[in-house]
Chains A and B, each alone.
Chain A
Amino acid sequence: MLRLEKVSVSIEGVRVLRDVSCELIDRKATVLIGRNGAGKTTTLRAIMGLIGLDGGTIRLDDDELDRLPAHRRAHLGIGYAPEDRRLIPDLSVEENIRLPTLALKLEKAECRRRLDEVYTLLPELHVMRARPAGGVSGGQGKMVALGRALTVARTVLLLDEPFQGLAPALALNYARTLGELRKHRPELALLITESTPALLDRIADCTLQIERGEIIKPNENEGKSCSCNSSASRETEPTMSGSRSML
C-alpha cells in the first residue's frame, strides 16, 4: 500500500501541498478530484520523486520513497502517465513502451510478456507501434503514455488527468480501457486524478477531494469515499493483505 503522511510541497516558495495524507489501497482505484491548480499533478509528482518534499513521508509498504532517488520508483513497480504524455519523440511508439524494460534491465522473455500485456489491453497501440512517437495525435499519445506506464506498473499506477484534452469518443474508449485494466490487472492500486469525476464513476472505488493543496474530509454520505487518514474503509479491509507479484 502507498501511504502519504503530512506531505508538504512548495514550488518556488509557494506552498502547493499542505499536510496531504492519504493512502492507496492495493486492488482499489482511488480518484483524486480537484480543480486546476488544486495540487493534483503535484501530488503525483511528489510520489514519483520529481519534486522535493518540504515535509512528510511517502511510503510504499516498507520502502520510504522520499529517501530514494526518483528513478527507484519504477524499480518498485510504480507506473506514471503524466497529463501531457511526455513521450520521447525520437523513438517509435513501441520503443517508448519498451523504454522502461531497458531502464529496468528486464530479461527478454519478461520484456516480451509485458509488451504483449500492453498490446492485449490496448490493441490500437499494436497498429501504430512502428510510428515515431513525435507523430501521433494527442489522444493516441495518451494511450501510448498509458501503455508505457503499464510496462512499469507492478504495484501502483498513477494516471494524471487521463481524459484531459480527449475527444468524447476517445475519452469513452479510454474509460472502457480502464475498466478492462481493472479486470486484467486487479493487483494494481490505481490513483487517477480528474477535474470532472463523471467519467470515472464506474471505475472509482473511492474518491478523494483536493482543494488548494489540502485533502478535504470525504463526504460520508456518498459511501464510496475513502477515509484519508486511516484505513477504516470497511470494504477494503479483507483485501488489504494484497497478493502482489513483485517479480
Chain B
Amino acid sequence: MLNAIIPLLLDSLASAALIFFAAVGLTLVFSVLRVLNVAHGSLYSIGGYVAASACLFIASRQMNPYLSFVALLFSAVFVAAIFGPVVERSLVRWTYGKSEAVQILITFGLFLMLEDLQRMIFGVQSYYEDTPMRLLGTTNLSGVVYLNYQIVLIVMAVAVVVGLRFLIRHTRTGRLMTAVVADREMAQAVGIDTNRIFMLAFSLGVFLAALGGALATPTSGIAPGLGADTMVLAFAVAAIGGLGQIEGAAVASLIVGLARVLAIYVAPELDAVAPYAAMLVVLLIRPYGLFGSTSVRRV
C-alpha cells in the first residue's frame, strides 16, 4: 500500500508545484492590478523558451553543466526585466478601472502578439533540453524510480510561497502593496505612488510566470501552444483558490495536482479533464473559490 502511496504523493506534489508556478503570478497580478492578464501563459512559455535556449547554449559551448540551474533562474529574471515594466507601462495600464471586457480584449491582443513573437524568435519546432533534470539523477523509492528534479520543483514552490508571504507581510513594498489592494484611493492619499506598485507587481507576476516556464522546460520540453494551455490551467487554479488569493492558489494547485495524478493512475484518459472537473466541483460549492469572497480582498 505504502509503496503505491508515496510515489503518488510525490508525483502530486511535483505536479502541484508546476501548476502553482503557472497560477500564482496570475493571481498576484489580479489582486494588485485587478486585471485578469490573459497573456500570462505566453510569458510562461517565453520563460521556457529563454531557459531552454540558455541551457542549449551552455551545453553547446561545453561549459559547466551546473550553470544550467543558474540559467533557469536568470532566464526568469531576464524575461521579467524585459517584459514586466514595458508591457505594464505601454499596454496594461490603459485598462485600469476599465470594464473586464476591455481588459480581456487588450490582454488577449497582447497574448496574440506574444505568441507570434515567440514563433518569430524561436521558430515552431519544440525545444527539449533536460540537462538540469539528468544532472540530479534519480532515487529508487522501493522499486519506483523517482526524479530528484521533482524534489527541486517542490522545494522551489515552497520557497515561492514563503518568499511571497515574507514580501507581503514584512517588507515596505509589501505593506504598500497591501494598502493598494485594499484601497487604491486611500493609498494615494497617504502618499503611495500606485503606478510604481502596479509596475512592480506586474513585473513580479511576469517573473513568477517565466520562472514557472523555465522550471517546467527540463521535464516536459516546450512547444508552440503551451502558452494557451498554461493560461487555461492557471485560470482554473486561480478560480479554485479564489482569484487574488496567493495561499488559495497554493491549496488549489495541490488539489489540481492530486486530481491529475489520481486521474493518471486510475483513468489516464481523464488526465486533461481532471483540473476542470475539480474546478467545477469547487465552484458549485463555493462560487468565489476556496479563499475568495466578494467584498474582502487580500494579497
Residues of A whose CB lies within 8 Å of any CB of B are: 48-50, 69-75, 80, 82, 86, 88-91, 95, 99-100, 102-104, 148, 152
A and B contact pairs by CB, cutoff 8 A, 10 listed:
A49-B188, A69-B188, A73-B191, A75-B191, A88-B182, A90-B182, A90-B299, A91-B175, A100-B191, A102-B175
Indicate if the CB atoms of B175 and A50 lie closer than 8 Å.
no
Indicate if the CB atoms of A50 and B188 lie closer than 8 Å.
yes
Q: Which of B179, B189, B296 contacts A50 (CB 8 A)?
A: B189
Bound CA–CA A88/B297 (angstroms):
11
Indicate if the CB atoms of A70 and B188 lie closer than 8 Å.
yes
Besides the known contacts A74-B189, A90-B178, A100-B191, 15 further A-B residue pairs in the complex with CB atoms under 8 A apart: A50-B188, A69-B193, A70-B188, A70-B189, A71-B187, A71-B188, A73-B189, A80-B189, A82-B189, A88-B178, A88-B179, A89-B296, A91-B179, A103-B179, A148-B190
Indicate if the CB atoms of A82 and B191 lie closer than 8 Å.
no
Indicate if the CB atoms of B296 and A103 lie closer than 8 Å.
no
User: Which residue of chain A has the shortest Cβ distance to B298 in the bound complex?
Assistant: A90
Q: Is B15 in contact with chain A by the CB < 8 A criterion? A: no
Q: Is B185 in contact with chain A by the CB < 8 A criterion? A: yes
The 3 closest A-B pairs by CB, nearest first: A74-B191, A103-B191, A70-B188
B176 partner residues in chain A, CB cutoff 8 A: 99, 102-103
Contact with A along B192-203 (1 / 0, CB 8 A): 111100000000
User: Measured between C-beta atoms, what is the minimum distance from A131 to chain B in Å?
Assistant: 16
Indicate if the CB atoms of B189 and A91 lie closer than 8 Å.
no
Q: Which of B178, B191, B296, B299 contacts A71 (CB 8 A)?
A: B191
A104 partner residues in chain B, CB cutoff 8 A: 191
Indicate if the CB atoms of A88 and B186 lie closer than 8 Å.
yes
Indicate if the CB atoms of B183 and A86 lie closer than 8 Å.
yes
B187 partner residues in chain A, CB cutoff 8 A: 71, 103
Indicate if the CB atoms of A152 and B191 lie closer than 8 Å.
yes
Q: Is B61 in contact with chain A by the CB < 8 A criterion? A: no
User: Measured between C-beta atoms, what is the minimum distance from B117 to chain A in Å?
Assistant: 32
Indicate if the CB atoms of A99 and B185 lie closer than 8 Å.
no
A80 partner residues in chain B, CB cutoff 8 A: 189
B296 partner residues in chain A, CB cutoff 8 A: 89
Name, among B175, B176, B195, B296, the residue most crowded by chain A CB atoms within 10 Å (CB to CB): B175
A103 partner residues in chain B, CB cutoff 8 A: 176, 179, 187, 190-193
Bound CA–CA A48/B187 (angstroms):
12
User: Measured between C-beta atoms, what is the minimum distance from A150 to chain B in Å?
Assistant: 12
User: Which residue of chain A has the shortest Cβ distance to B174 in the bound complex?
Assistant: A102
B172 partner residues in chain A, CB cutoff 8 A: 102
Residues of B whose CB lies within 8 Å of any CB of A are: 172, 175-176, 178-179, 182-183, 185-195, 296, 298-299
Indicate if the CB atoms of A71 and B193 lie closer than 8 Å.
yes
A74 partner residues in chain B, CB cutoff 8 A: 189-191
Indicate if the CB atoms of B190 and A50 lie closer than 8 Å.
no
Bound CA–CA A161/B189 (angstroms):
17
A95 partner residues in chain B, CB cutoff 8 A: 175
Bound CA–CA A72/B190 (angstroms):
9
Bound CA–CA A49/B193 (angstroms):
13
Bound CA–CA A74/B299 (angstroms):
24
Bound CA–CA A69/B194 (angstroms):
10
User: Measured between C-beta atoms, what is the minimum distance from B167 to chain A in Å?
Assistant: 14
B179 partner residues in chain A, CB cutoff 8 A: 88, 91, 99, 103
User: Which residue of chain A has the shortest Cβ distance to B173 in the bound complex?
Assistant: A102
User: Measured between C-beta atoms, what is the minimum distance from B18 to chain A in Å?
Assistant: 30
B182 partner residues in chain A, CB cutoff 8 A: 88-90
Bound CA–CA A56/B48 (angstroms):
53
Bound CA–CA A72/B185 (angstroms):
13
Bound CA–CA A89/B178 (angstroms):
10
A100 partner residues in chain B, CB cutoff 8 A: 190-191
Bound CA–CA A86/B179 (angstroms):
10
Bound CA–CA A73/B189 (angstroms):
7
Bound CA–CA A89/B183 (angstroms):
10
B183 partner residues in chain A, CB cutoff 8 A: 86, 88
User: Measured between C-beta atoms, what is the minimum distance from A89 to chain B in Å?
Assistant: 6
Bound CA–CA A43/B187 (angstroms):
19
B185 partner residues in chain A, CB cutoff 8 A: 50, 70, 86
User: Measured between C-beta atoms, what is the minimum distance from A176 to chain B in Å?
Assistant: 25
User: Measured between C-beta atoms, what is the minimum distance from A105 to chain B in Å?
Assistant: 8
User: Measured between C-beta atoms, what is the minimum distance from A93 to chain B in Å?
Assistant: 14
Bound CA–CA A165/B183 (angstroms):
21
Bound CA–CA A12/B84 (angstroms):
33
Given A71-B194, A89-B296, A90-B298: A99 touches B188 (CB 8 Å cut-off): no
Bound CA–CA A73/B191 (angstroms):
7
B298 partner residues in chain A, CB cutoff 8 A: 90
B191 partner residues in chain A, CB cutoff 8 A: 71-75, 100, 103-104, 152
Indicate if the CB atoms of A86 and B186 lie closer than 8 Å.
yes
User: Measured between C-beta atoms, what is the minimum distance from A47 to chain B in Å?
Assistant: 10
